[in-house]
Amino acid sequence: MTAEERQILQLLAKEWDLKGPPGILDISEVVAALSLAPSDTLAALKHLFEQGLTDMNALKTSVYLTPKGYDATEKS
């Protein structure tokens, strides 16, 4: 797992802990919250989605953790 992916998972896990599952955030909020290039953030989000650690709403505007993704944050 890359450092970028870890940052995204930790951000979503924090949202999960504060507001409850599934830790949903707009993709624009994720980009704004991290000190990464937007293209790097989107690439990391795509990879996390492909691994089943995150999922997206039907419009592909919001991202959230799957239970597998939340478990992955507890192990790192």
> What predicted TM-score, i.e. pTM, was given to this entire model?
0.91
Considering its fold, how many domains does the chain have in total?
1
pLDDT of residue 76: 58
Give the CATH number, domain containing residue 37.
1.10.10.10
pLDDT over 90 percentage in the chain: 89
Could you give the C-alpha distances from 61 to 2, 10, 20, 58, 74, in angstroms and in order?
22, 19, 19, 8, 26
pLDDT tens-digit series, residues 10-26: 999 999 999 999 989 99
pLDDT of residue 45: 96
Domain holding 21, by residue range, is 3-75
pLDDT of residue 1: 86
Could you give the C-alpha distances from 44 to 19, 20, 31, 62, in angstroms and in order?
23, 23, 11, 14
Please state, rounded to an integer, the average pLDDT across all residues of the chain.
93
Contact 15, 23 (CB under 8 A): yes
